[in-house]
Amino acid sequence: MSKDIYHIAADYFKGRITVEDKKFLDEWLNQTPDNREMFAELERVWKLTGSLQEQIEVDVNMEWSRFLENRDNIESSSGFTKSGRKLFRSPLFKIAAITIPAILIVASLFIYNLGNSGNPEWITIHSGNDKTEQTLPDGSEVWMNRNSVLSYPKNFKGGKRRVKFEGEGFFNVVKYKGTFTIGTGTSEIKVLGTQFNVRYYAGEPYTEVSVKEGKVSLSSVAVKERNTVLLAGEKGSLNNRTNDIVKEKNSTENSYGWLTKKLIFSNTSLEQVGKDIERYFNKKVIVTENKVNTTFTGTFTDPQLDEVLHTLNLTLNYSCQIKNDTVIIKK
């Protein structure tokens, strides 16, 4: 595993990964099963220790040879399984042998193999370049947009339901005794039973929550007293830099467009049309003029960008052009 991947993974676990590094990490995870296994093992060490050593100033080969010798002695005396030996040989443990005391490594292997109930196993789902759906232990459902990550415990215990999320997802939370909490890098979202959309990507300026049904509490992690309650049809935007929260009427049905595969416009301002196109197709959209007084009405099912822009050209007599990853809409 390269030093770049190692540091990128550490930043990811700390919740401070950049958009560029997150993209690189997703591509790396999709390359081979070995990469995904390595990342999962690295995540287990992070959860056991709370940190990853970022500076290694020892003779790696010498320390690894010493660790292999200790491993062989442990195997012969403790009767480790083949799966335990496989973990010992993984590239991650070459790092772990240097950065974590040997006794902690042995203890972590026993915890992993015996499934210590005091440290409930967490499951992490990466959607990668595809959309995916995941059912949680309580029956709640999560639809994940591309490049999203969901982590949750194998079993919810004590009435507490807490998950971690990054990306964009639609949550259908079942009613239960106790709250359901979603932690992102900058916000905490609490619900009882409801349907809502969450969008949080590290590097984007805002965390957005759009409520379809029920009631949701959105609060800042950094400034606890900054929080707001959102009802059906409302949207909350948390400024990831200033921690300010703005609540407003959700004026567009297209907050869930990525899930419904529809773009719906009803006398929608051209400015909002541009924002919805930008969000749906992940393209930067620039509307150059007359964006306040011009409105558009139309519905697109499973839309294609060329189709949407062609329709705007015909109905509004605007010029819509695509240059690299930017869409320019002008009179």
pLDDT band (50, 70, 90) for residue 29: confident
148: which residues sit within 8 A by CB, 6+ positions away? 126, 127, 165, 166, 167, 168, 169
The pair of structure tokens assigned to 39 is 């990342």
Class of CATH domain 254-330: alpha beta
- Asked if 122-249 and 254-330 have one fold, the answer is no
Short-list 255, 326, 261, 293, CA closest to 309: 326
Short-list 55, 64, 44, CA closest to 113: 44
pLDDT at 128 over 50: yes
pLDDT at 281 over 60: yes
For the stretch 173-194, pLDDT in tens is 998 878 899 999 899 999 978 9
Residue type, 121: E
Short-list 129, 138, 131, CA closest to 163: 138
The pLDDT assigned to 98 comes to: 44
pLDDT at 107 over 80: no
Separation CA 176–CA 224 (nearest Å): 25
Once rounded to an integer, what is the mean pLDDT over residues 103-108?
A: 43
Strand partners, 319: 330
The residue behind tokens 């990128």 is 8
Strand partners, 287: 329
The pLDDT assigned to 2 comes to: 46
For the stretch 212-259, pLDDT in tens is 999 999 999 999 899 999 999 999 999 999 999 999 998 788 988 999
pLDDT band (50, 70, 90) for residue 40: confident
Residue 132, helix vs strand vs coil: strand
Asked whether 271 and 219 are in contact (CB, 8 A), the reply is no
Q: Looking at the domain 122-249, which fold is it?
A: Jelly Rolls (2.60.120)
Packed helices 91-99 and 60-78: angle between N→C axes, nearest 10 degrees: 100
Residue type, 11: D
pLDDT band (50, 70, 90) for residue 88: very low
pLDDT at 60 over 50: no
Specify the DSSP class assigned to residue 310: H
Asked whether 52 and 10 are in contact (CB, 8 A), the reply is yes
Separation CA 6–CA 39 (nearest Å): 9
Per-domain residue ranges for the chain?
Answer: 3-114, 122-249, 254-330
Separation CA 275–CA 117 (nearest Å): 47
CB atoms within 10 A of CB 189: 24
Once rounded to an integer, what is the mean pLDDT over residues 87-113?
A: 46
For the stretch 306-331, pLDDT in tens is 999 999 998 888 888 898 889 999 88
pLDDT at 95 over 70: no
Query: What is the reported pTM?
Result: 0.62
Which of 49-63, 126-140, 147-161 is predicted with the least confidence, judged by mean pLDDT? 49-63
pLDDT at 8 over 50: yes
Which helix (H) or strand (E) segment holds residue 71: the answer is: helix 60-78
pLDDT band (50, 70, 90) for residue 101: very low
Print burial letters for 129-152: b (CB count within 10 Å at least 16), e (below 16).
eebbebebeeebebbbbebbbbbb
Strands 141-144 and 161-173: antiparallel
pLDDT band (50, 70, 90) for residue 166: very high
Short-list 280, 266, 283, 263, CA closest to 329: 283
How far the first Cα of the chain sits from its last, in Å, is: 51
> 3-state SS string over 156-190?
CECCEEEEEEEEEEEEEECCCCCCEEEECCCEEEE
Separation CA 266–CA 29 (nearest Å): 41
221: which residues sit within 8 A by CB, 6+ positions away? 183, 185, 186, 187, 188
- State the average pLDDT for the chain: 79
Asked whether 284 and 325 are in contact (CB, 8 A), the reply is yes
